[in-house]
């Protein structure tokens, strides 16, 4: 029974060309794979499959009530799965998902109206169950939801990017972080020997709504072991301490931060950061900062925790003896806590040999006579900066990272 | 007592009652604009975020995609397996990994070689120094030492520890043979010492776990190397994983050269634009969604809340008929209907009249809007209840931390820093303001998921718009605020959504136009005008005039809008001859 208030469906004969073209392109992609073993045809094969699938999808969308259309889509996806080369394996996943969606579409179109109600209800419940599973997925996940996630929902939620717990500024606003990369070039020219890259930096944003800046804020978080505090084995801890504080200290010795507890002065990055994140970041920095005729000698990396300034610091409230303290700007150098993560080559490998300060906090401290209004801080000249602060990063790296990189 | 039928009817009413898709149309336009903006912003940063040498290099991203371990707790009460603990310092870790690589193929042989290690740190502290000294001897010296033990002659090579002196000759020699088995496995100094340090630092249970791990390694050198490499990189035994890898995809996992990824990016921008204006929406929605996911999956280190919420909005616009209203698709349907009516020459064409009367309510539109509403509530509930667990929200410092956050807030502007300074001068004033910020945020986020279903909905919507506007302004997260407000649209009645554009379109006042049905050009233009007349402002009367009134046509709001579009006048001239 055709509802007269509905637009007449597209004539099925008009859909034959897009279906035929789509399937034809996909078959050509398959044949290319059979006839050529060269990886040079991989790109064209993917393109043919994508265009073919779009053509088939357009035809299905033109007449979604047709089970023949959905069936053709399933066949098209099956052929495309074979047509996509192995070097584009992640696209095989997309095609498999599209095939699954087509099968569901076929089933829904083929089933009687009253069963569609049940099928739709089931899909709704399953989908919302997945969202609840994702929301409970951070922190202490209940056993039930961990099972549901790992054994059931994980592929779906990962594919759709719905595996998020939506903990915006929760349970607490996270501490801001920066990454400082000190690049040393192999050149006799002392002015060109060092370059610093600070991430994030507002001036790196290219769009009026600062979107690319906000993206860069996430980069240091990736290298921050906030969720997993590593306690090294006893001998490792001893070695780290002995290297850090040798019995005989020369002028390059970097003191501990006088106000932070010992537990906050050494932060060991987890293995994922050591093995996955840092090498990748360093390779990127090396590639993005290539200079002709000046090979990169080394790249020092600092993960910098940028502490919040609390109201009493901002106004320079009196201490317990009634003496006013120094007013501190939110961007005061002492609010930056740089943890040295090591020195790498341009391939992202740690330079061999002991590195006494690796994973230790390298403090930036104010001298006793550093007294100026926080608002004035930004106007400080290099000379004033050096007169007011002891920047051990600058001393350790041989160049001023904090100021030069921004 | 609710009956099954009652529950079923309520469920059906909630989910399947046909709804006007106009809201989805507006959501499509807003989402499309945001997605288009975000992807336009990528244009200058393709290499930095998605290229082979991006922050997460292509090689690293692919390794993560294919190998990342996935764990699942056991179904029963048995304990979940944990991997052996390895050192964290790279040089020590390398020594242990090399030691594991030197193990014998035969598991029995492996155990035999490790007998001495398994007892090295038990009971007697002197065994380690003795072993270190013994391992430093030359093979000849070791043979001489054994001979002296056998002969019970004077120990000229090195003294034996006290624990050895209590042993029989056979037992002492057996210990030394076991030590001989271990020495080549440990490798050269200082790696050998690192392995022994590692084993000593482990507690008893961890040592047994290491020995079990070693015992259970496969005999095949290749398989063993694969497991050890995985352990080194991912810090876990691959055999303990439920599965490995992520179900993600992206062209950016595969594209190598800048020409190809610029071509793909350009194609993506075109598709998003078509989706935004609502052309071939069913297809372009799916393509936009897949493209969006492709960018997100590739560049995890630079993705944040905006991307999560964009994924949510796009998924639902793929499900729902986002192009059924406020779209080019809709205009095309109206053109088809107007043409059918004209061709029918006065005979009734019910479907065409229905199309021209407005978007057809649909169950799928309702399902989609309900899903958006519930998803929005879950987002609020999750973030609200998690904030309740945070100490900084309880002591109100979260408000301050948000305002002076050097990354996000306006504090980078000197005037705002001065304002914060002025506020901080009075502890009482500051405390009141912070209490207000925290209370407003938490109460809204916790209460909205429940009270939004009551008559308080308008107030909560206003509160939510206020919150997201505040976040957009104070923290600079404008696209995030806009996309959250886009989801919020799902709670607005379609009539409210329709009123805004209808008000704008109706400002021109009603128009009556005559046209000559015998003139093919006028007939075509009359059809097109009826299709464009989305607010029902034009009455067409067959007559005998020569041309349509140009001035009156330009008073139609939709044509006024076209004037602002580049090339709009040309389009209007092509469509209507004005």
Residue pLDDT, tens place only, B178-230: 888 888 888 888 888 899 899 888 888 888 889 889 989 999 999 999 999 99
Is residue A206's pLDDT more than 90? Answer: no
Question: Is B301 within 8 Å of chain A by CB?
Answer: yes
Which of A91, A172, A222 is nearest residue B301 as measured by Cβ atoms?
Answer: A222
Contact yes or no for A159 and B247 at CB 8 A: yes
**Structural element, H or E, at residue A197:** strand A194-199
User: Quick check: helix, strand or coil at residue A110?
Assistant: helix
B539 and B545 in contact (C-beta within 8 Å)? no
With the C-alpha atoms ordered B351, B353, B354, B355, is the resulting torsion angle positive or negative?
Answer: positive
Confidence (pLDDT) at B141 = 86
Q: State the Cα–Cα distance between residues B179 and A232, nearest whole angstrom.
A: 28
Give which of B272, B217, B388, B293 is closest to B36, Cα–Cα. B272
Which of A236, A276, A330 is nearest residue B92 as measured by Cβ atoms?
Answer: A236
Confidence (pLDDT) at B524 = 72
User: Quick check: helix, strand or coil at residue B173?
Assistant: helix
Is residue A227's pLDDT more than 60? Answer: no
In order, the DSSP letters of A343-373 are EE-TTSPBPSS--TTTTBB--EEE-TT----
- Mean pLDDT, residues A225-244: 81
Give which of A353, A355, A364 is closest to A392, Cα–Cα. A364
Which of B293, B374, B404 is nearest residue A330 as measured by Cβ atoms?
Answer: B404
Tokens 């912070």 correspond to what residue? B434
Confidence (pLDDT) at B96 = 95
Q: State the Cα–Cα distance between residues B489 and B373, nearest whole angstrom.
A: 9
Which of B351, B379, B390 is nearest residue A7 as measured by Cβ atoms?
Answer: B351
Q: A81 CB contacts (<8 Å, ≥6 apart)?
A: A92, A95, A96, A99
Q: Which residue has the higher pLDDT, A83 or B132?
A: A83
* Three-state SS letters, B493-556: CHHHHHHHHHHHHHCCCCEEEEECCCCHHHHHHHHHHHHHCCCCCEEEEECCCCCCCHHHHHCC
Q: State the Cα–Cα distance between residues B40 and A129, nearest whole angstrom.
A: 34
**Which residues of chain B from 323 to 382 reach within 8 Å of chain A, CB to CB?**
333, 336-337, 350-352, 354-355, 360, 367, 371, 374-375, 378-379, 381-382
Write out chain B residues lying below 8 Å of A155, CB-based: 247
How many C-beta neighbours within 10 Å does residue B190 have? 12
Contact yes or no for A150 and B45 at CB 8 A: no
Return the structure tokens found at A333.
């150098």
Write out chain A residues lying below 8 Å of B49, CB-based: 215
Return the structure tokens found at B275.
């989706």
Tokens 């990272």 correspond to what residue? A401
Q: State the Cα–Cα distance between residues B498 and B471, nearest whole angstrom.
A: 28
β-bridge mates for residue A179, sequence order: A199, A303
Contact yes or no for A378 and B408 at CB 8 A: no
Q: How confident is the model at residue A405 (pLDDT cuts 50, 70, 90)?
A: low
Write out chain B residues lying below 8 Å of A120, CB-based: 15-16, 367
- Mean pLDDT, residues A307-333: 86
- Mean pLDDT, residues A231-249: 88
Confidence (pLDDT) at B551 = 46
Task: Dump pLDDT digits (tens) for A141-177.
Answer: 888 988 999 899 999 999 999 998 888 887 888 889 9
Contact yes or no for A280 and B56 at CB 8 A: yes
Q: Which phi and psi (to 5°) does residue A64 adopt?
A: -70, -15
Return the structure tokens found at B142.
């070791």
State the best of A116, A218, A288 to mutate against chain B, taking most chain B CBs within 10 Å: A218
Q: Which phi and psi (to 5°) does residue B46 adopt?
A: -60, -50
Q: Give the number of A-B residue pairs with CB atoms closer than 8 Å.
A: 293
Q: State the Cα–Cα distance between residues A56 and A68, nearest whole angstrom.
A: 12
Contact yes or no for B41 and A211 at CB 8 A: yes
- Domain range list for chain B: 4-52+252-357, 90-244, 378-497, 499-576
Confidence (pLDDT) at B509 = 62
Q: State the Cα–Cα distance between residues B382 and A162, nearest whole angstrom.
A: 14
Which of B40, B88, B355 is nearest residue A7 as measured by Cβ atoms?
Answer: B355
Give which of B169, B193, B171 is closest to B182, Cα–Cα. B193
**Structural element, H or E, at residue B356:** helix B350-357
pTM: 0.91
Question: Is B427 within 8 Å of chain A by CB?
Answer: yes
Q: State the Cα–Cα distance between residues A285 and A345, nearest whole angstrom.
A: 11
> How far B231 CA lies from chain A's nearest CA (Å)?
10
Write out chain B residues lying below 8 Å of A271, CB-based: 88, 233-235
> How far A78 CA lies from chain B's nearest CA (Å)?
18
A336 and A329 in contact (C-beta within 8 Å)? no
Q: State the Cα–Cα distance between residues B131 and A332, nearest whole angstrom.
A: 54
Q: State the Cα–Cα distance between residues A275 and A342, nearest whole angstrom.
A: 13
Which of A171, A306, A314 is nearest residue B421 as measured by Cβ atoms?
Answer: A314
Q: Cβ-count burial of A13 within 10 angstroms (0-12 exposed, 13-18 middle, 19+ buried)?
A: exposed
Question: Is B283 within 8 Å of chain A by CB?
Answer: yes
**Which residues of chain B from 117 to 136 reach within 8 Å of chain A, CB to CB?**
none
Average pLDDT, chain A: 88
Give which of A173, A199, A390 is closest to A282, Cα–Cα. A199
Tokens 């009359």 correspond to what residue? B526
Which of B297, B308, B351 is nearest residue A164 as measured by Cβ atoms?
Answer: B308
Q: State the Cα–Cα distance between residues B543 and B529, nearest whole angstrom.
A: 16
What is the CB-side half-sphere exposure of residue A110 using CA atoms within 13 A?
11
Confidence (pLDDT) at B439 = 94
Contact yes or no for B198 and A121 at CB 8 A: no
Confidence (pLDDT) at B180 = 86
With the C-alpha atoms ordered A237, A239, A242, A244, is the resulting torsion angle positive or negative?
Answer: negative
> How far A368 CA lies from chain B's nearest CA (Å)?
23
Confidence (pLDDT) at B549 = 52
CA A272 to chain centre: 13
Q: B312 CB contacts (<8 Å, ≥6 apart)?
A: A162, B372, B375, B379, B487
Contact yes or no for B374 and A310 at CB 8 A: no
Residue B17: closest CA among chain A residues belongs to which residue?
A: A117
pLDDT in tens, chain B (578 residues): 778 889 989 999 999 999 999 999 999 999 999 999 999 999 989 999 999 999 999 999 999 999 999 998 888 898 888 899 999 999 999 999 999 999 889 888 888 888 877 777 666 677 778 888 888 888 888 888 888 888 877 777 777 777 777 778 888 888 888 888 888 888 888 888 899 899 888 888 888 889 889 989 999 999 999 999 999 999 999 999 999 999 999 999 999 888 998 999 999 999 999 999 999 999 999 999 999 999 999 998 899 999 999 999 999 999 999 999 889 999 889 888 888 877 776 678 888 888 888 888 999 999 999 999 999 999 999 999 999 999 999 999 999 999 999 888 888 888 898 899 999 999 999 999 999 999 999 999 999 999 999 999 999 999 999 999 999 998 889 999 999 999 999 999 888 887 766 666 655 566 777 777 777 777 777 777 777 777 677 777 776 554 555 445 666 666 667 777 777 777 777 776 65
Q: Which residue has the higher pLDDT, B169 or A229?
A: B169
Which of A120, A166, A308 is nearest residue B382 as measured by Cβ atoms?
Answer: A166
Which of A8, A90, A214 is nearest residue B253 as measured by Cβ atoms?
Answer: A90
Confidence (pLDDT) at B283 = 95
Q: B84 CB contacts (<8 Å, ≥6 apart)?
A: B206, B209, B210, B213, B231, B237
Write out chain B residues lying below 8 Å of A214, CB-based: 304, 306, 408, 476-477
Q: Which residue has the higher pLDDT, B50 or A394?
A: B50
Q: Cβ-count burial of B544 within 10 angstroms (0-12 exposed, 13-18 middle, 19+ buried)?
A: exposed
Q: Which phi and psi (to 5°) does residue B52 adopt?
A: -60, -30
A219 and B407 in contact (C-beta within 8 Å)? no
Write out chain A residues lying below 8 Å of B248, CB-based: 90, 93, 158-159
Counts for chain B of helices (H) and strands (E), in that order: 31, 4
Q: State the Cα–Cα distance between residues B548 and A99, nearest whole angstrom.
A: 52
* Cis-peptide, bond into residue B190, ω within 30° of zero: yes
Write out chain B residues lying below 8 Å of A94, CB-based: 249, 290
Contact yes or no for B351 and A374 at CB 8 A: no
Q: Which residue has the higher pLDDT, A394 or B533?
A: A394
In order, the DSSP letters of B65-80 are HHH-EE----SSSSPP
Contact yes or no for B15 and A160 at CB 8 A: no
- For residue B70, what are the CA distances in angstroms to A136, A143, A146? 17, 15, 11
CA B16 to chain centre: 29
Confidence (pLDDT) at B567 = 77
Confidence (pLDDT) at B454 = 94
Is residue A375's pLDDT more than 60? Answer: no
> How far B544 CA lies from chain A's nearest CA (Å)?
31
Is residue A83's pLDDT more than 70? Answer: yes
Contact yes or no for B382 and A135 at CB 8 A: yes
Q: State the Cα–Cα distance between residues B37 and B31, nearest whole angstrom.
A: 10
Q: State the Cα–Cα distance between residues B67 and B65, nearest whole angstrom.
A: 6
Q: List the strands of the sheet with A194-199, edge to edge.
A: A194-199, A177-185, A296-306, A336-344
Task: Dump pLDDT digits (tens) for A251-285.
Answer: 788 999 998 988 889 988 888 899 999 999 999 99
Confidence (pLDDT) at A348 = 94
């Amino acid at each position: 029974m055709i509802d007269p208030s509905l637009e007449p469906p597209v004539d099925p004969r008009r859909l034959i060309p897009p279906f035929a073209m789509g399937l034809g392109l996909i078959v050509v992609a398959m044949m290319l794979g059979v006839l050529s073993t060269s990886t040079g045809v991989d790109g064209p094969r993917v393109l043919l499959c994508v265009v073919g699938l779009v053509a088939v999808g357009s035809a299905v969308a033109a007449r979604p009530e047709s089970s023949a259309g959905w069936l053709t889509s399933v066949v098209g996806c099956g052929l495309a799965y074979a047509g996509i080369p192995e070097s584009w394996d992640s696209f095989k996943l997309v095609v498999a998902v599209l095939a699954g969606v087509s099968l569901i579409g076929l089933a829904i179109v083929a089933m009687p109206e009253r069963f569609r109600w049940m099928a739709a209800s089931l899909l709704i419940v399953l989908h919302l169950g997945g969202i609840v599973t994702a929301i409970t997925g951070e922190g202490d996940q209940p056993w039930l939801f961990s099972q549901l996630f790992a054994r059931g929902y994980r592929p779906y939620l990962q594919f759709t990017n719905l595996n998020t717990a939506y903990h915006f500024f929760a349970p607490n606003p996270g501490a801001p972080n920066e990454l400082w990369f000190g690049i040393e070039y192999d050149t006799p020219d002392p002015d060109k020997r060092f370059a610093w890259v600070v991430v994030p930096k507002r001036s790196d944003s290219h769009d009026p709504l600062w979107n690319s800046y906000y993206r860069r804020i996430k980069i240091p978080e990736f290298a921050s072991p906030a969720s997993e505090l590593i306690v090294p084995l006893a001998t490792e801890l001893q070695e780290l301490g002995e290297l850090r504080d040798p019995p005989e200290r020369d002028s390059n010795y970097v003191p501990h931060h006088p106000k932070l507890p010992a537990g906050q002065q050494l932060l060991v990055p987890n293995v994922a950061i050591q093995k996955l994140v840092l090498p990748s970041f360093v390779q990127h920095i090396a590639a993005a900062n290539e200079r002709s005729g000046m090979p990169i000698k080394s790249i020092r990396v600092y993960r910098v925790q940028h502490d919040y300034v609390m109201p009493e610091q901002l106004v320079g409230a009196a201490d317990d003896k009634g003496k006013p303290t120094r007013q501190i700007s939110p961007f005061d150098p002492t609010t930056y806590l740089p943890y040295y993560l090591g020195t790498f080559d341009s391939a992202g490998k740690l330079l061999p040999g002991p590195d006494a300060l690796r994973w230790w906090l390298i403090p930036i401290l104010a001298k006793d006579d550093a007294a100026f209004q926080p608002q004035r801080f930004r106007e400080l000249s290099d000379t004033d900066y050096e007169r007011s602060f002891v920047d051990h990063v600058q001393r350790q790296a041989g160049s001023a990272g904090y100021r030069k990189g921004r | 007592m609710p009956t099954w039928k009652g529950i079923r009817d309520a469920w059906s009413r909630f989910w399947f009652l046909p709804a006007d898709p106009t809201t989805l149309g507006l959501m499509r336009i807003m989402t499309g604009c945001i997605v288009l903006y975000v992807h336009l912003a990528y244009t200058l940063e393709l290499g930095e975020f998605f290229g082979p040498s991006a922050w997460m290099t292509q090689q690293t991203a692919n390794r993560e995609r294919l190998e990342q371990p996935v764990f699942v707790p056991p179904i029963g009460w048995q304990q979940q397996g944990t991997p052996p603990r390895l050192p964290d310092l790279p040089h020590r870790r390398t020594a242990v990994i090399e030691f594991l690589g030197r193990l014998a193929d035969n598991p029995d042989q492996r155990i035999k070689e490790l007998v001495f290690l398994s007892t090295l740190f038990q009971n007697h502290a002197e065994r380690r120094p003795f072993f270190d000294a013994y391992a430093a001897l030359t093979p000849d010296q070791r043979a001489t030492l054994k001979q002296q033990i056998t002969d019970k002659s004077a120990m000229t090579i090195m003294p034996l520890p006290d624990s050895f002196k209590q042993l029989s000759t056979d037992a002492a020699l057996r210990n030394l043979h076991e030590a001989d088995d271990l020495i080549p496995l440990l490798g050269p100094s200082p790696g050998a010492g690192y392995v022994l340090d590692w084993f000593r630092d482990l507690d008893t249970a961890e040592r047994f776990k290491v020995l079990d791990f070693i015992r259970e390694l496969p005999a095949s050198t290749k398989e063993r190397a694969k497991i050890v490499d995985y352990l080194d990189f991912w810090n876990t035994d691959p055999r303990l994983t439920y599965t490995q890898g992520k179900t993600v995809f992206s062209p950016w996992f595969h594209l190598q050269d800048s020409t190809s990824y610029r071509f793909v990016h350009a194609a993506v921008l075109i598709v998003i634009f078509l989706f935004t204006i609502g052309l071939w929406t069913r297809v372009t929605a799916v393509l936009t969604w897949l493209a969006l996911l492709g960018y997100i999956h590739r560049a995890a280190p630079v993705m944040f809340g905006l991307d999560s919420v964009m994924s949510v909005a796009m998924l639902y616009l793929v499900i729902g008929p986002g192009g059924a209203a406020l779209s080019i698709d809709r205009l095309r349907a109206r053109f088809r209907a107007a043409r059918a009516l004209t061709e029918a020459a006065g005979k009734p064409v019910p479907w065409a009249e229905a199309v021209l009367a407005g978007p057809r309510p649909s169950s799928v539109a309702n399902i989609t809007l309900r899903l958006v509403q519930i998803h929005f509530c879950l987002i609020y509930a999750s973030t609200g209840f998690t904030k309740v667990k945070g100490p900084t929200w309880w002591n109100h410092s979260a408000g301050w931390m948000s305002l002076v956050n050097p990354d996000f807030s306006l504090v980078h502007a000197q005037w705002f820093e001065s304002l914060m300074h002025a506020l901080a001068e009075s502890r009482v004033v500051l405390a009141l303001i912070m209490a207000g910020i925290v209370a407003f945020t938490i109460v809204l986020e916790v209460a909205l998921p429940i009270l939004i279903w009551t008559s308080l909905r308008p107030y909560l919507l206003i509160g939510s718009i206020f919150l997201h506007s505040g976040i957009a302004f104070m923290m600079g997260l404008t696209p995030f605020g806009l996309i959250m407000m886009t989801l919020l649209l799902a709670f607005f009645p379609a009539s409210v959504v329709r009123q805004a554009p209808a008000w704008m379109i109706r400002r021109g006042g009603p128009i009556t136009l005559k046209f000559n049905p015998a003139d093919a050009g006028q007939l075509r233009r009359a059809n097109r005008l009826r299709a464009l007349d989305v607010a029902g402002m034009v009455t067409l009367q067959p007559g005998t005039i020569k041309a349509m009134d140009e001035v009156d046509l330009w008073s139609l709001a939709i044509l006024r809008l076209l004037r602002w579009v580049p090339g709009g006048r040309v389009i209007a001239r092509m469509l209507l001859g004005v």
